[in-house]
Amino acid sequence: MRVIILGIDPGLANTGWGVIESAGSSRCCVAYGCITTSAEEPLPERLACVHREVQAVIARYRPAACAVESVYFGANAKSAFATGQARGVALLALADAGLELGEYSPVQIKSTVVGTGTADKSQVAYMVRVLLALPHDPAPDHAADALAAAICHAHQCGGSGARARMAAAVAAAETGR
């Protein structure tokens, strides 16, 4: 069964997106890109742009599932907060479309795609190129990270989302929902 998966690497300045097709253990790249907003624009306009563009990607490629990189709360809280806001409007677009969602940490994505959670951006881009048989590393790195998130979701869920749905059902049962 072929499944279209959208990966998102959220950010206020740059939100990477990548669409793959997964069939069993086979993966191929459908499209990728980056949504860019200017720091000179007011915050609400930047967030609206991210939301609108994610909706446009969903409408064009009609994914069955989506993988989103979780926010890394490192030393820069201001950057993490801005990323969280962009991530929130992307999640809203996904919810509006009724898409299945997989959320993965940067370490999970790197471990799945490269084999180590400490891989750098060039290693991720290289492995995305190899795994998707692309003629060159995807650029910018935000798009490569988004494709990596989609690959991670395909690997974790076998492309169908069955594991994610099972995990959600188990979690709901454990919390009494």
H-run or E-run covering 113: helix 106-113
Closest-CA residue to 155 (of 142, 143, 164): 164
Q: How far is CA 7 from CA 38, 136, 141, 155, in A?
A: 22, 19, 13, 13
Catalytic position from the list 51, 100, 142, 153: 142
Catalytic annotation present for 141 = no
Residue 100 and residue 37: Cα distance in Å, rounded? 26
Catalytic position from the list 21, 53, 69, 145: 69
Provide CB contacts within 8 A for 49, sequence distance 6+: 35, 37, 41
Catalytic annotation present for 40 = no
CA torsion through residues 110, 122, 24, 93, sign: positive
**Is residue 142 within 8 Å of 34, Cβ to Cβ?**
yes
Catalytic annotation present for 100 = no
| Residues involved in catalysis | 9, 69, 142
